[in-house]
Amino acid sequence: MPPMSKALMLSYWNVNDPAFGGGRRINALIDALAGRVLLCQPGAPHDACETAVYKTDFGRRKRGINWGMFNFFWPANAACVGRLVTERAPPVIIMTSMWNYHPLRRVIETPIVLDAHDVNAVAVGERMGVRHPFTRMVRSWEARVVRAVDHLFACSERDREQFIALYDLPPERVTVVPNGVYVTRHEPPAVGTDDRLPDDLERSLKDATVLMFMGKLDYQPNVEALTFLNEKVMPALEQIRPNGFRLLVCGGPRPDRMLHPSVIPAGVLSTARLMAALRRADICLAPISSGSGTRLKILEYMASAKPVVTTAKGAEGIDAQPDRDWIVADPSEFAERIVDLTHHPERAARMGAAARVFVTQRYDWKTRIAPRWQRVLAQWMPPVAV
């Protein structure tokens, strides 16, 4: 094998400047391999690695489920993958979703690895019910894929245990590689032209305690979280302190529902302005009630030294200490815990500082997470210096 041969990485998302957690994880994996990646994705070349672009992207259809997961079932896209495997002879193929497997069904000689962002059948089953036909289809496909691959990366110990139990996998074939965050990117920026919020957005937040929620707003767990904040939490806070709170919502698409007057939708922000929004926030929220995997938004909140209020479901997979690194609240007490932090600003500041130390020590992409991918992939690719 040539010493610098490239892994073939398949993505049904375009991960250029991603505004969603899965895309940020894929970019961190590309970084971990020091660019020794041939990425196959829709839309456009990636600026950090060689890219094979396929044209048909069903992910542009924004209705119901994420139709992009069927991209590699389309014959022309599948044929593109087949040609890359034949012509480039990669030492290993890395799937960033189980939905990438269709064109690889007959690949025997090349090792295949799945970097699983969640346990898909569990996540879908929570939303649609375990007996729903779509849940059954997802579980059947997931079973086929995870049993076929040579190795599986899981985002948390909980996900690892579920993969092993659900699909009877040998434990040695499943390695935990948590989600992470580039901690240094959350440090105060140098003076720049795009490192602050737009003036109109800044005016809407003036003289209020700024709460923040971010995420992909057509992803069902985030839709549920925003609904909870909009219909339960913000009205409760308005009663406690009229006009005293604003909820800054970052992500797209913009909600088409009626929002509480204290909810400010900012849409999809540039990376610089998203960092500005995090700096502007007083408290960050993640009231997640469904889904699998771990929430990158929480790690990013923590890296910005912000106090975080989340739920037990949101906390899954992150080994932080409640009431030191974050607050894990029952939905019925969510508003109360937010108010308590505003009454004790020194406690909120200590919690934010502890959270940043925590993610620096445990969840930095470069120093803590990348070596875990590298150790497993080294059996097919030469190791990369951290």
Same-domain pairing of 313 and 370: no
8 Å CB contact between 329 and 166: no
Same-domain pairing of 105 and 196: no
Same-domain pairing of 120 and 196: no
**pLDDT at residue 249 in the model:** 96
Helical axes 133-148 vs 157-167, angle rounded to 10°: 90
Residues in the chain: 386
**pLDDT at residue 149 in the model:** 98
Could you give the C-alpha distances from 128 to 146, 315, 323, 386, in angstroms and in order?
22, 22, 33, 42
Q: Is there a domain that residue 205 lies in?
A: yes
Same-domain pairing of 145 and 206: no
Other Cβ atoms less than 10 A from the Cβ of 86: the count is 9
Same-domain pairing of 93 and 191: no
Number of structural domains (the chain) is: 2
Same-domain pairing of 198 and 161: no
Same-domain pairing of 173 and 194: no
Q: Is there a domain that residue 302 lies in?
A: yes
Per residue in 102-132, pLDDT (tens digit) is: 999 999 999 999 999 999 999 889 888 999 9
What token pair was written down for 254? 């913009």
Q: What is the CATH number of the domain that holds 90?
A: 3.40.50.2000
Same-domain pairing of 142 and 31: yes
Per residue in 47-67, pLDDT (tens digit) is: 999 999 999 999 887 676 788
Residue with tokens 């940043």: 356
Q: Is there a domain that residue 385 lies in?
A: no
Domain hosting 372: range is 7-180+365-377
- Model confidence at 386: pLDDT above 90: no
- Model confidence at 171: pLDDT above 70: yes
Same-domain pairing of 226 and 287: yes
